[in-house]
Amino acid sequence: TTAFLNNAYMPLEQASISPMDRGFLFGDGIYEVIPTHYGKPIGLQAHLSRMSDGLAELQIDNPYSAQQWQTLIDTLIQRNRSELGSDYIGVYLQITRGTVMSRQHAYPQDITPTVFGYGFTLAAPPATTPEQVTTLDVALLKDRRWERCHIKSTSLLGNVMHFEQGKAQGKQEAILLNAHDEVTEASSCNVFVVWQGDIYTPPLDYQLLPGITRKLVIESLAKEGIAVYEQVISKTMLLQAQEVWLTSSSKEITPVTHIDEQTIGEGQAGPVWEAALAAFNKHKFTL
Ligand code: PMP
């Protein structure tokens, strides 16, 4: 595995940073995961733009130009594709505020951000038919995270604890409900439902990550003349839905068949999911 750390490429085992990095001390940084298939990134510009937004929100100066990011990402894709022997490579990027000499909450001035990246083998994308796709059983949990979930922060303890809570119940993910019993997102995915024949996903705000797959799914469906309503999804709508899907860079669009004890729809991947994945696969490299 080839990694990138502070302007140099190296084998992942050789990459190391100081324990005084604010990423380690405070989780003071952001990250991105960019999926690539056969050397081609999916949603690259959207990933880079979300990264810029996150840096701006944290008041960390973007350390590289668009061209430098492009080169860095291309290099990680090419090297890791041959080293890992996979056509499905994820590029992980992380930027922290940098390494300090003393631990203080205040943002220190004049420090250099730490930039880290590496490539990893992505799970193969989901099968495209209801008969073949692997579906998910998920838990339904109270969202106990903070009010800045739109930032792709490396401070993921809230998400990790929710995922683990689902896993302890024998589930593969957890869908989260806010204090008003409205769906926010899952611990590492966005949520879509098909309800009374229409497709819904929660509107973007501080309660959820603006997922790039979510965006590409909405745009792919729009190109096929199918609307997605960005509207509040109540717990009732979720549990009465004909279909529920989770989206993320690694899962693309994956159907959910059980939520806690409840069976969703017919308990198998549905026709709207099949159409949505077909639309996504048709447009994902060109959006
Ligand atoms: N929500 C959360 C909390 C996530 O961590 C992720 C990324 N795994 C997503 C949604 C999906 O985002 P994307 O489509 O950009 O991978």
The C-alpha atoms of residue 278 and residue 13 are separated, in whole angstroms, by 39
Matching fold, domains 2-121 and 136-283: no
Give me ligand 1 centre to Cα 76, in Å. Answer: 21
Q: Tell how strand 252-259 and strand 136-142 pair up.
A: parallel
Q: What is the pLDDT of residue 263?
A: 98
CATH number of the 2-121 domain: 3.30.470.10
Q: What is the pLDDT of residue 29?
A: 98
Instruction: Locate the domains of the chain by residue range.
Output: 2-121, 136-283
Amino acid at position 244, single letter: V
Q: Would you call 235 a catalytic residue per the annotation?
A: no
Q: What is the pLDDT of residue 149?
A: 98
- What topology is assigned to 136-283 in CATH? D-amino Acid Aminotransferase; Chain A, domain 2 (3.20.10)
Q: What is the pLDDT of residue 249?
A: 98
Q: What is the pLDDT of residue 173?
A: 98
Q: What is the pLDDT of residue 267?
A: 97
Catalytic residue among 152, 171, 251, 284: 152
Give me ligand 1 centre to Cα 60, in Å. Answer: 21
Q: Whose CA is nearest to atom 1 of ligand 1?
A: 189
Q: What is the pLDDT of residue 135?
A: 98
Give me ligand 1 centre to Cα 101, in Å. Answer: 33
Which is the closest atom of ligand 1 to the Cα of 32? Answer: 15
Q: Ligand 1: which of 36, 190, 212 to mutate, most ligand atoms within 8 Å of CB?
A: 190
Q: Whose CA is nearest to atom 4 of ligand 1?
A: 188
Which is the closest atom of ligand 1 to the Cα of 35? Answer: 16
Which is the closest atom of ligand 1 to the Cα of 250? Answer: 16
Give me ligand 1 centre to Cα 283, in Å. Answer: 19
The C-alpha atoms of residue 284 and residue 281 are separated, in whole angstroms, by 5
Residue 5 · residue 17 · CB < 8 Å? yes
Q: Whose CA is nearest to atom 7 of ligand 1?
A: 188
Dihedral angle over CA of 96, 97, 103, 105, nearest 10? -110
Q: Mind listing the pLDDT tens digit of every residue in the chain (287 residues)? A: 999 999 999 999 999 999 999 999 999 999 999 999 999 999 999 999 999 999 999 999 999 999 999 999 999 999 999 999 999 999 999 999 999 999 999 999 999 999 999 999 999 999 999 999 999 999 999 999 999 999 999 999 999 999 999 999 999 999 999 999 999 999 999 999 999 999 999 999 999 999 999 999 999 999 999 999 999 999 999 999 999 999 999 999 999 999 999 999 999 999 999 999 999 999 999 99
pTM of the model: 0.97
The C-alpha atoms of residue 42 and residue 153 are separated, in whole angstroms, by 21
Token pair recorded at residue 37 = 């298939």
